[in-house]
Structure 1
Amino acid sequence: MTGIILFAVAFVLLMLGIPVAFAFGASAIFVAFIDPNIGLDVFGLLPYRIYGVMQNFTLMAVPLFILMGFILEKSKIAENMLESIGKLFGPVRGGLAIAIVVVGAILAASTGIVGASVVMMTVISLPVMIRHGYSPRLASGVIAASGTLGQIIPPSIVLIILGAVMQISVGDLFKAAVIPGLIIVGLYIIYILILAFIKPEIAPAIETDEKYSKIIIDALKSLIAPSILIILVLGSIFAGFATPTESAAIGALGSIILAIVYKTFNWELLRYSSVETVKTTAMVFMVLIGARAFSLVFNESGAGDLITQFFTQDISNPYIFVAITMLVIFILGFFVDFVEITFIVIPILIPIVQQFGIDPLWFALLIAVNLQTSFLTPPFGFSLFYLKGAAGDKIQTKDLYIGVIPFIIFQVIALLILIFYPHLVHIMVK
């Protein structure tokens, strides 16, 4: 009963607009205060739990990857790539939409910041797509979906936090996520090609007077910087030369060097990137502190043991457990960010995963794909808010909601593929 009250109080506070970190922390304090079996003395353990997190070397990668992403965004390297790749695919039906998917994947592999990717692609690409006759629904759907690829394609902040919470190798998670990421990108591109073939009027080819040879050269030039970063960051991890934290430091330094080489580096860029990194990182770790307080009271109430007993003894079917878990995480994704879900829900599930003998790497990838899907789901998908905020009156909310539905379906299909073919996550992992 205490566990139900805990979640109910947290939900009410969230609906009242209280920031997530404070909502979960306040609900923990409230329940500990009213339950004499727990008491406020339980928070005497909280500093030790927080200190344990502070000593987690893996989580140091979070601010470093965030810094790398903001520098790339502000240095115009990503913007130049988007424009040149758009011209490269423009002569093909649906080419602009395919270009956005490709650029979304490259940005995901070099930055991993969803909000920045969605806003940048909206500001640059949406007016161009609408001006050339693209359907607003397709345009908004493909931008929102491509911007969220940073949730699953490494170096993903989601995977770093999942690895730290589930105590599994982040490097292995990065390797395991490559195939699922490519599956999702492939499904998007196939859908766009088929749709453009059936309805060419909603995704027309774009003619240009520029020589195509020059367009190809410009596109290749624009790929140099992100390719260098991808090789430095992911290549060093996959080859075993560096840990994710060490490669994040390399990536952050590499992004600064590239900005200098491209003559876009200045102190304003560094100040903006540093301040935004501090803000984002502070948000992540404030949520972590609130989540630690929440889980402390939750476990002290005995609710965690009851849930473990329910799944392992009363149901005793791992497939039902996976199905229920995926559904709950999908629904939670409507209301709370991946950080809160990872810090609060996942620790509750870990003992059950261990009891059933479920592959933690496979389970972590299912969660990551599921969280990516929730980023798109109306009416609360975070990518939808980013896109609508950047687009303003250029796109109607109804068109945005309808436009993302096909991409949500394809992400669910990708999730089902991983569920029924678990070996796919081990192809890249040796």
Structure 2
Amino acid sequence: MKRELWFGLSLMVAILTVTAIFMPWSNMSNGHLGLLMLSLVVVAIMLGFPTAFTLMGMGVLFAWLAYRSGNPDIAVRQTLDLMVQRAYSVMTNDVLISIPLFVFMGYLVERANLISKLFRSLELALARLPGALAVATLVTCAIFATATGIVGAVVTLMGLLAFPAMLRSGYDIRLSAGAITAGGCLGILIPPSVMLIVYGATAGVSVVQLYAGAFFPGIMLAGLYIVYVIVLAKLKPHLAPPLPMEERHIDLPPTAAILRDKVSHRVLPGLIGGLKGRRNLGIPAGEIVRQGTVALLPAIALALFLGLTWHLATKPVPIDETTGLVEMGQGGGATESADAGGLAEPPADEESAGGVQEPKSNGVQEPPAGDVKEPPGAAKAAPPAAADAPAQPPATDADGERRPTPTWYWIILGVSAVTAVGFYAIFTFVRLEVFKMLLASFFPLAIMILAVLGSIVFGLATPTEAAAVGALGGFVLAAAYRQLNFTVVKESVFLTAKTSAMVCWLFVGSSIFSAAFALLGGQELVEKWVLSMELTPLQFMLLSQFIIFILGWPLEWTEIIVIFMPIFIPLLAHFHIDPLFFGLLVALNLQTAFLSPPVAMAAFYLKGVSPPHVTLNQIFAGMLPFMGIQVIALALLYIFPQIGLWLPEVLYK
């Protein structure tokens, strides 16, 4: 029998043995029945039973036992009522509407055949880095996983595309497998992530804030992966040999080849030299202008960025106009208030009379300045502006001018100018072709992702509305790459319905299961046990994250979120832990659920498309270093919580 099967069976035997030893069979309470239900659910899922229906079946059975202990006559009706109420509460949850839309966007992008062009362009752009193929694989996985959020699809596609390329280049099998599986799992962390939506709906945390908080931890984890690969390739080049020169070859268009050979291999001098006219080089001026426009796009983007930064840095600070206003409660009487141009407070004898009195006919007066006075007793109104009077500008700082340009802006400007000069000094016609490939593959996908995330994070749209925009963007991308046809749409709709049904049934089963667990008193028993240990918040955080890390070995992230999060979340208030921060730690921790045997689904996805000589044990061995990096990232996030909390605090608090 295979090792992973032995491991799974041993783990199930261990769970059942602990349950059998520590369960007080002679004095069973409802709370102990809840713990028994929890252990049986874990074992049943490990045996291969469908998670959603296992949760539902166990929940119904043990809910009936809970109701039966109170009133056996109506236990069946109460159990059926519970099923209906919990299913209806899931159906009316607006947050879950975004799940099918995001999934539909992912399947459309997947079928646009964008990943092959993206991988090739990144492979050429990063060719000079150590471990270039592995780095390009990680970057491609991160971008594509962010767009799709479907781990199986990303790992499978990269297994077909990048795995053979790395093996042909002499890459180590374990390093190649680890890069593909770890990079493919980033989609469950980096927004827009379905896992964050599931956690937000389970824990009652804003999905918008979760998206904002998970952005930088996801980038940090991807960055740690890339740093590990570069350092390993630098120290042990035989594990990741440099890309052969024949793999870096790019065929130039005829016009670019002429300019390179007769003028200069650099883009700007070559294009300027080509402006001598059709008679000298035989190149139309329109072609040179088109090539120059593409070449200047980085400079144009940098200029726009610097201009926007200067505008925001020197923008005048508005100052509210307070002339003529009197602080409430500070006026001494009618005369003072009139002189100040404001409303008068009631006299002291009227205040002592026990209420606010009606003003006398002459109680509100215009200041005696020779102007036209209001009729006695009329409410004071602002005088209408004259027809020829200019409109008053909004209140700004004292002189109405922009603030001085700060020193940090000049530093950024200088660094940007030096960087731009250096960039164009090495910007050859070959690099121009790579840049065009990036324009055709990387930037459309990046713009769609940023549009979806930006509309959510900056409050322009709800997650559901942004998901609808993303689904439309998937349509546009598929159409732009001429992949939008009836077959693609039909397959995307079918797979979306399948995935969405799975997630929603999981929610129904989880809702029934958690209700039965609470009815039996299992939650109360767990809380008493945790509180009896008198843990500090740090100790509780370490304990909970360790339990989640261990649970990631036999269970997937869906089971961990819907089964165990309702147990941990009620304890957060006692330890003064922010549910948002706890959710970010859980999301980072649950990366292990796809990388840890025996239920490491990413390994099985890759094994299904890898060559026959690649064994499952080699894939597992390649994933272990990346699991260690996940633990390091988890520690960094806990030590420096502002990595995840800074952006939500800036945007929403």
> What's the offset of the Cα at 1:80?
1.8
Matches within 5 A, 1:239-318: 239-318=458-537
1:42 counterpart = 2:261: no
Query: What is the letter of the counterpart of residue 322 of structure 1?
Result: M
1:59 counterpart = 2:57: no
Separation (CA, whole Å) in 2 of partners of 1:92 and 1:248: 36
Query: What is the letter of the counterpart of residue 132 of structure 1?
Result: S
Deviates more, 1:34-43 or 1:405-414: 34-43
Contact 1:109-1:230 at 8 Å conserved across structures: yes
Matches within 5 A, 1:6-85: 6-34=37-65, 36-37=68-69, 39-40=75-76, 41-85=78-122
Matches within 5 A, 1:168-207: 168-206=205-243, 207=245
> What's the offset of the Cα at 1:61?
0.7
Deviations 1:8-61 (A, max 9, x none): 321332233211112222222333455642654334222222212222111111
> What's the offset of the Cα at 1:258?
1.6
Deviations 1:199-232 (A, max 9, x none): 1111111122223432232123211221221122
Deviates more, 1:385-394 or 1:109-118: 385-394
Deviations 1:43-91 (A, max 9, x none): 4222222212222111111110000000011111233212221222234
Contact 2:174-2:621 at 8 Å conserved across structures: yes
Contact 2:556-2:593 at 8 Å conserved across structures: no
Name the residue aligned to 1:209.
249
Deviates more, 1:222-231 or 1:298-307: 222-231
Contact 1:32-1:297 at 8 Å conserved across structures: yes
Task: Please point out which of 445, 450, 453 is paired with 1:226.
Answer: 445
Matches within 5 A, 1:69-108: 69-108=106-145
Deviations 1:292-329 (A, max 9, x none): 22111110000101212222344242222212211221
Deviates more, 1:227-236 or 1:140-149: 227-236
Name the residue aligned to 2:571.
352
Contact 1:73-1:79 at 8 Å conserved across structures: no
Contact 1:331-1:374 at 8 Å conserved across structures: no
**Structure with larger Rg:** 2
1:115 counterpart = 2:152: yes
Contact 2:117-2:437 at 8 Å conserved across structures: no
Task: Please point out which of 21, 32, 36 is paired with 1:5.
Answer: 36
- What TM-score comes out, normalization by structure 2 length? 0.64
Name the residue aligned to 2:22.
none
Helix, strand or coil for the counterpart of 1:177? helix
Contact 1:288-1:340 at 8 Å conserved across structures: no
Contact 1:166-1:350 at 8 Å conserved across structures: yes
Separation (CA, whole Å) in 2 of partners of 1:223 and 1:121: 16
Name the residue aligned to 1:153.
190
Deviations 1:228-273 (A, max 9, x none): 2112201111221111111000000111012112211111000010
> What's the offset of the Cα at 1:112?
1.6
Contact 1:155-1:174 at 8 Å conserved across structures: yes
Contact 1:74-1:269 at 8 Å conserved across structures: yes
Name the residue aligned to 2:547.
328
Residue identity (%):
37
Query: What is the letter of the counterpart of residue 236 of structure 1?
Result: S
Helix, strand or coil for the counterpart of 1:213? helix
Where in structure 1 are there 5+ consecutive unaligned residues? none
Contact 1:2-1:301 at 8 Å conserved across structures: yes
Name the residue aligned to 2:609.
390
Separation (CA, whole Å) in 1 of partners of 2:209 and 2:493: 29
Separation (CA, whole Å) in 1 of partners of 2:626 and 2:160: 20
Contact 1:311-1:317 at 8 Å conserved across structures: no
Separation (CA, whole Å) in 2 of partners of 1:233 and 1:319: 35
Separation (CA, whole Å) in 2 of partners of 1:26 and 1:164: 22
Query: What is the letter of the counterpart of residue 37 of structure 1?
Result: S
Deviates more, 1:283-292 or 1:216-225: 216-225
Separation (CA, whole Å) in 1 of partners of 2:80 and 2:631: 40
Separation (CA, whole Å) in 1 of partners of 2:42 and 2:557: 16
Contact 2:64-2:79 at 8 Å conserved across structures: no
Helix, strand or coil for the counterpart of 2:612? helix
Deviates more, 1:114-123 or 1:201-210: 201-210
Separation (CA, whole Å) in 1 of partners of 2:489 and 2:189: 27
Separation (CA, whole Å) in 2 of partners of 1:92 and 1:366: 31
Separation (CA, whole Å) in 2 of partners of 1:96 and 1:90: 8
Query: What is the letter of the counterpart of residue 98 of structure 1?
Result: V
Where in structure 2 are there 5+ consecutive unaligned residues? 1-31, 251-429
> What's the offset of the Cα at 1:392?
4.8
> What's the offset of the Cα at 1:350?
1.6
> What's the offset of the Cα at 1:290?
1.4
Separation (CA, whole Å) in 2 of partners of 1:394 and 1:212: 37
Separation (CA, whole Å) in 1 of partners of 2:490 and 2:634: 39
Q: How many residue pairs get matched?
A: 430
Separation (CA, whole Å) in 2 of partners of 1:328 and 1:359: 19
Separation (CA, whole Å) in 2 of partners of 1:394 and 1:71: 33
Label 1:394 to 1:242 Cα distance change in 2 as closer, same or farther (>3 A). Answer: farther
Label 1:48 to 1:109 Cα distance change in 2 as closer, same or farther (>3 A). Answer: same
Deviates more, 1:376-385 or 1:10-19: 10-19
Deviates more, 1:313-322 or 1:78-87: 313-322
Contact 1:162-1:364 at 8 Å conserved across structures: yes
Contact 2:60-2:83 at 8 Å conserved across structures: no
Separation (CA, whole Å) in 2 of partners of 1:228 and 1:64: 18
Query: What is the letter of the counterpart of residue 141 of structure 2?
Result: G
Deviates more, 1:29-38 or 1:245-254: 29-38
1:138 counterpart = 2:178: no
